[in-house]
Structures are given as structure tokens and as C-alpha cells.
A and B are shown apart, each in its own frame.
Chain A
Amino acid sequence: MSSQASPMPGSASPGPIRAAMPRRKPPIWGGRLQELGMLLPACILIALFLLLPFLSSFEIALTNQRLIPRPVPVRFVGLGNFQQILTDSAFWTALWNVTRFTVMVLPIQCGFALAIALLLNQKLPFRNFFRGLFFLPAITSMVVVCVIWSTLFQYPTGPFNQIVGFLSFGLVGPIDWLGDPNWAMPSIVLLSAWQAYGFQMIVYLAGLQNIPETLYEAAELDGANAWQRFWNVTMPSLRQTHIFVLIITTIQAFKLFTQVNILTQGGPRGTTDTLVHYMFTAGFVDQRLGLASAVAILLFLIVLVVSLVQRFVVRDRR
């Protein structure tokens, strides 16, 4: 495959190919056959279930193939599927929605994660206990999160409506969080950020713990207050962590599917339709495998570009 993939493998090989000490040679061919037997199972599975579907998606995308084959022969349609997608306003809506989701979820999720990480990075009794507690949503299945949060979003008497009503002295609300086209996406954003912030939190915690204490001492000697220390020591030192967290969160955000599929089915009025949901509807619900494969390729290209940006930015540092 692509050789630009990573800087790692070259440096990684420990170079045991030259049998350095020919003391008592193990049976070379027997050994190699055995090695092949150890390497192949994983490689065959990956070839069958990852490489093959990936490559075949490029072929399928050029045809009008159906998920459940019809008696009519499959026809080659060239770039017709891509043309159809790119002229479908629903696709652009889905792309716009997922972009909107990403732009909203990034600051909320990462900001909250960083805030909690800063809180937990101080001298605090039971720190590990708190870290474990704050990490709980991250290991909770999205399906379960949807069950809980759909009761929180309940219209008109759910907790969120009660809180909003209370804070606004009854002037605002009740809001149909998941049913109102203006509120459906922000609600999905909130729920998603709550489920996923734990991962970013521990990444930030690890980043914070790598900042040398001496930097803070020096800043303190210079008379910097807590606010200044945060902006002039903590934030610049976290640069790499920020980049990593932003990229990972962006990639995750572009794959948004489960919560939308369960809670809104892409509605109301298409305001929460996403790329993966669009693909799912095209390929699984409408059985148009060719069209869906074309969407899948576009999704892959987006993820690829974001990953390459990460590689580029990270390598920049080295």
C-alpha cells in the first residue's frame, strides 16, 4: 500500500534478520513456516474483512449494484453515483450538518475535557477516584446514553425543560429538544460531548502531567498569577496535545451516526442527517449499494485528509 503512511516502521525494525550468533541454529525453514503460520491468521482476516471490502467499494461505487442482488445484471455506471450524490441536496445537507456538528462539538467537548483535566491535575484527595468517576461516560455505550438522555430531553416536562424554565422564570420553553429543527442538532451535540469527553480528558491529563514543574516555578518567580500561568505556560506546553485531541475529535465527529439513528432518524426535516446516516439510508434502507459505496469513499477521503493533516503537523515538530 501507500509507503508514505508512517515514519515509524523504518526505525522500528530491530534488525534480527541477520542471525547474529550462529551458535545452534534453529531449523530455519521449520521456523519460518511456523512464523508464517503465526502471521497469516491475522493477515488473512484483515485482508478478507478490511482490505477486500475496502477495495471492492471502489469497484461497487462505479456500478448500480443493489445490496440484495436483483435478477437484472449489474450495470457499470462510471462516475454516475458520484455525480448523483454531488447533485443531491440531501447529501450537501448531511455534509453541512456533520460540519455544523463538528464545529459545535469541538469547543464544547474539548473545552470541558480540558477544564476537568485542569481540575484533576491539582493536589486533590481521592484524585484517582474522581478521575475514574469522570471517565465513566466514556465507557458507557452510546445506546445507553441515548436511553438516558432522551428522558432528560423529554418534552415538555423533562429535566432540561424544568431547568430552562426555572432559570428563565418560566419565560423560555418548554422546548422540544429533539423535535425542533433548531434545537435537534445542539441537543445531539450536548449528548455526544457528554458521552465522549472522558477520552479527551485523560489525554489532556497525560499532557498536563508532562509539563515540567519548573516552568510554573519560574513563572511564579516572575510574578505571574494563576490566569497568566495558564495562558503563558499551560496552553503553549499543551500544543501537541491540542492538535492531537482536535484531530481525533474531528475524525470521530465526522463519523456521527448512532445517536442520530436512534434519537432523530436524521430528522426533524433533515437537520440531523449525517454522512454516515445518509450512507446507511442509501445502502441499507434503500438497498442502493453502489450509491452508498460512493458515499463511503467520500467519507474515507475526508478521514484521510484529516489524518494527513495530523501527520503533517505532528511531523513538523520533530
Chain B
Amino acid sequence: MSTVVSTSTPSPVAKVSAKPDIGAIVKFVAVLIIALVVISPLFLLFVASLKPDRFQILADMGSFRAFWVSEPSLQNFTDIATFGGALPFGRYLVNSLIILFCTVLGGVFLNSMAAFVLAWGRLPGRAVVLTALIGLYIVPQESIVLPLLSLVNKAGLGDSFAAQILPWMASPLYIFLIYQFFIQVPRDIYDAATVDGASPFRIYWSVFLPLSLPVLATVAILLGIETWNQYLWPLMVTQTDYARPISVGIASFFGHDSVYWNSAMAASVMMMVPVLIFYLAFQKWFVSSFISSAVKG
């Protein structure tokens, strides 16, 4: 409770150069401990994935041995990647990556193109389309998946990659996010491009896209996380391993009497690592992405 310092140092500059503050150190250590406790389940996951004995994993969980692995082994990973019959996790991971890549690439492109026309096009009826999109944004995915499943099956798209990519590429939310960015672009920039007689696509491609990297990154990150973590839809639409993503693969460990914890842990790490790599590389963008999705409301 040493926060009330008010007396001597009013300027923040002076505070920085002052003597090492005991209160600040205590606070730092406290935050560090809280952070470690809160994050410890993730740490436990990584440790457990290096233990090849599934009974050992459970036995260790109840003690401090859960935080330590004496003989780290990558056997769980080689097992699930090469396992002949049971659950082909290498395949699931590749499936997830294919779905992710196509959805994000297509999504960023299609949504931004539509947003450009809505913001700067001359097409009549743009306001109507925009209003319709905003209205549709409220519809939750959960309440359309069953009719959608019926439609997809009728169209012969069941158990396919297309069924997992096409429905979620275009999205009112992301069109609107990019739209809001585009309408803030100064009019002069658009005019300058039209004076040259550039076509709408040309203006979009060589003027607006390069300007809008921040919002495109936001959409890519949000759509990417959303796609990677999809569960309900692929659970229903995939019937075989052909296009099954890793989330559904991991879930299939459950529901038996004894869970292969070693494989489940390794598969979970496999699912987390791609996200972690991106997260470490683009942490700031991640956080600001989620904020901008929130501010929209």
C-alpha cells in the first residue's frame, strides 16, 4: 500500500531517476507471481507433453513434479505424428493449416474488396447493402450451423475443405471493420487516383491496400484465431479424417474410459505452437486487433 507518494516528487521524470523504490520492486514481484500462477496451466501442458508415460502424467499432476520433467522426451510427438491407424495428427495439423491459410487469405481479400466498394464506389444501393450487412452481423454462428449443415450436405460439400473455408471467409464484421478504416482515408487520395483514370480495382489494389495494412493485419489475426479454434462446425461437417482439423482430432481423445494423456498433451502443444509463434512475432498487433474488434461494438 505504498501508492500514495504525493509529497516530494510531482514530476514523473524525477520518479524514474529516483532511488530504487522498494514499493515498486514489491509490486513487480507480486505481478510476476500472479502472472506465473495464472499462466501455470499452460506451462504444465508443455511439461506434460514431454513425458511419455500417460500414467506418470496423471500421478505427477497432483504434486510439484508436474512442473518438472526429469527425462524430457519427444516420443509423444513422434508417436502422434506417425501413428499408423488411430489418429493421424500430422494430417489434422496440415488440414488445419490449409483451412487457415485459405480462409485468411481469401477473407482478407474479399472483405477488403467489398469494403472498398462500399466506402468509395459509385454503385447504387451501397447503403442498403451496408445496412443489411450490419443487420446480419448479429446472427450468431451457432444459430445457423444446423440449417447450413443441411444445405452443405445437399450441395454435396459435406466432409470437404470447401465446406470449412467458404462459409467463414466473408464476414459482415470484417467488412465493416475495414470499411470504417477506408472511409477515414482522405478524399484527396481517392481523387488523385481517379484523375489518372485508374479503374476501381486499380485504386483499391495499388492505393488503398498498401494504406490499410494495420486493419488488414487486424482482420487476418482475428479471422485466423477464429478459424484455428473452430470446433462446433468442423465437428458436424467432417465425417472422416480427410478434412478434419486438429481441434476435432484432440477432442476425440475424450469420451473414453481412459484418456491417452501423453498423446493429448502433445497434440495440444502441436495446436498451440503455430499460434504462439505468430503471437510472439506480432504481439502488439494481436492485442490491438482484439481491442479494435471490441471498440466496434
Interface hits, A121-156 → B, CB 8 Å: 122-125, 128, 130-152, 154
Using an 8 Å CB-CB cutoff, how does the interface string of A106-120 with B read, 1 for contact, 0 for none? 000000000010011
Q: Chain B contacts of A276 at CB under 8 A?
A: 142, 232
Q: Do A303 and B143 have beta carbons less than 8 Å apart?
A: yes
Query: Which residues of chain A (146-192) have a CB below 8 Å from chain B?
Result: 146-152, 154, 157-159, 161-162
- Given the interface contacts A54-B147, A292-B146, does A141 sit within 8 Å of B44 by beta carbon? no
Contact B287 A135 (CB under 8 A): yes
B23 to chain A minimum Cβ distance, whole angstroms, is: 11
Contact A147 B170 (CB under 8 A): no
Whether B204 sits at the interface, judged by CB under 8 Å, is yes
The minimal Cβ–Cβ distance linking B171 to chain A, given in whole angstroms, is 7
A1 within 8 A of B: yes
Main secondary structure of the interface of A (DSSP, over half): helix
Q: How far is the CB of B242 from chain A (nearest CB, A)?
A: 19
Residues from chain A with a CB closer than 8 A to the CB of B3 are: 226
Nearest Cβ on chain B to A238's Cβ, whole angstroms: 14
Contacts of B73 in A (CB 8 A): none
Of A134, A145, A299, which one neighbours B143 at CB under 8 angstroms? Answer: A299
Q: Which of B42, B127, B254 lies in contact with A263, CB distance below 8 A?
A: B254
Q: Which of B179, B247, B284, B287 has the most CB of A within 10 A?
A: B287
Complexed CA–CA distance, A54 and B235 (Å): 20
Q: Is the CB of A53 within 8 A of B148?
A: yes
- Do A60 and B150 touch (CB < 8 A)? yes
Q: How far is the CA of A294 from the CA of B38 in the complex (A)?
A: 40
Q: A2-B135, A5-B134, A45-B166 given as contacts; is B4 within 8 A of A225 (CB)?
A: yes
Question: Quick one: which of B120, B153, B232 has the most chain A CB within 10 A?
Answer: B232
Select one of B34, B41, B272, B294 contacting A244, CB under 8 A: B294
| Inter-chain contact A307/B138, CB cutoff 8 Å | yes
In chain B, positions 94-138 with a C-beta closer than 8 Å to chain A are 110-111, 113-114, 116-124, 126-127, 129-136, 138
Task: List the B residue with the shortest CB-CB distance to A307.
Answer: B138
Q: Are A39 and B117 in contact (CB under 8 A)?
A: yes
A31 touching B122, Cβ below 8 Å: yes
B191 touches A257 (CB 8 A): no
Q: A residues 16-70 with Cβ under 8 Å of B?
A: 16-17, 19-21, 23-24, 26, 28, 30-32, 34-39, 41-43, 45-46, 48-54, 56-57, 60, 65, 67-68
In the assembled complex, how far is the CB of residue B287 from the closest CB belonging to chain A, in whole angstroms?
A: 6
Given A38-B204, A314-B297, A151 contacting B48 (CB threshold 8 A): yes
Whether B160 sits at the interface, judged by CB under 8 Å, is no
Question: CB distance B170 to A293 under 8 Å?
Answer: no
Q: Are B200 and A31 in contact (CB under 8 A)?
A: yes
Taking each of B32, B63, B194, B204, which has the highest tally of chain A beta carbons within 10 Å of its own beta carbon?
B194
| Chain A residues, CB < 8 A from B204 | 38
Q: Which of A12, A202, A225, A280 contacts B290 (CB 8 A)?
A: A202
B80 close to chain A: CB less than 8 A: no
State whether A149 touches B166 (Cβ < 8 A): no
Find chain B residues with CB under 8 A from A138 CB.
Answer: 290
Task: Assess whether B62 is in contact with A149, with CB atoms less than 8 Å apart.
Answer: no
User: Given A35-B122, A38-B117, A255-B142, A140 and B147 touching (CB < 8 A)?
Assistant: no
Query: Please, what's the 1-or-0 string for B170-182, where 1 marks a CB less than 8 Å from any CB in chain A?
Result: 1110010001100
Judge whether B169 and A45 touch: CB under 8 Å: yes
The 8 Å CB contact of B271, one of A49, A144, A225, A304, is A144
Bits for B203-214, please: 1 = Cβ < 8 Å to A, else 0: 010000000000
- A76 interface hit (Cβ, 8 Å): no
Closest partner residue, chain A, to B171 (CB atom): A46
Judged by a CB distance under 8 angstroms, whether A105 is at the interface is: no
Residue B72 at the chain A interface, CB threshold 8 Å: no
B75 within 8 A of A: no
Q: How far is the CB of B161 from chain A (nearest CB, A)?
A: 15
Q: Is A289 part of the contact surface with B, judged by Cβ < 8 Å?
A: yes
Is B147 touching A57 in the complex (CB atoms < 8 A)? yes
Q: Does A1 contact B275, Cβ atoms closer than 8 Å?
A: no
CA of A116 to CA of B32, assembled, Å: 12
Nearest residue in A to B179 (C-beta to C-beta)? Answer: A12
Instruction: Answer yes or no: A13 CB below 8 A from chain B CBs.
Output: yes
A92 close to chain B: CB less than 8 A: no
- Decide if B81 is an interface residue (CB 8 Å cutoff): no
CB distance from B148 to the nearest CB of A (A): 4
The verdict on B255 contacting chain A, using a C-beta distance below 8 Å, is: yes
Compute how far the CA of A172 lies from the CA of B242 in the bound complex, rounded to whole angstroms: 48
5 contacting pairs across A/B (C-beta < 8 A): A34-B200, A39-B121, A128-B283, A130-B35, A141-B272
A residues lining the B interface (CB < 8 Å): 1-3, 5-6, 8-10, 12-14, 16-17, 19-21, 23-24, 26, 28, 30-32, 34-39, 41-43, 45-46, 48-54, 56-57, 60, 65, 67-68, 116, 119-120, 122-125, 128, 130-152, 154, 157-159, 161-162, 194, 199, 202-203, 206, 220, 225-226, 244, 248, 251, 255, 257-258, 261-263, 265, 276, 279-280, 283-284, 289, 292-293, 296-297, 299-300, 303-304, 307, 310, 314
Interchain residue pairs A-B with the least CB separation, the first 8: A49-B167, A42-B114, A1-B135, A42-B170, A45-B170, A53-B147, A157-B62, A296-B143
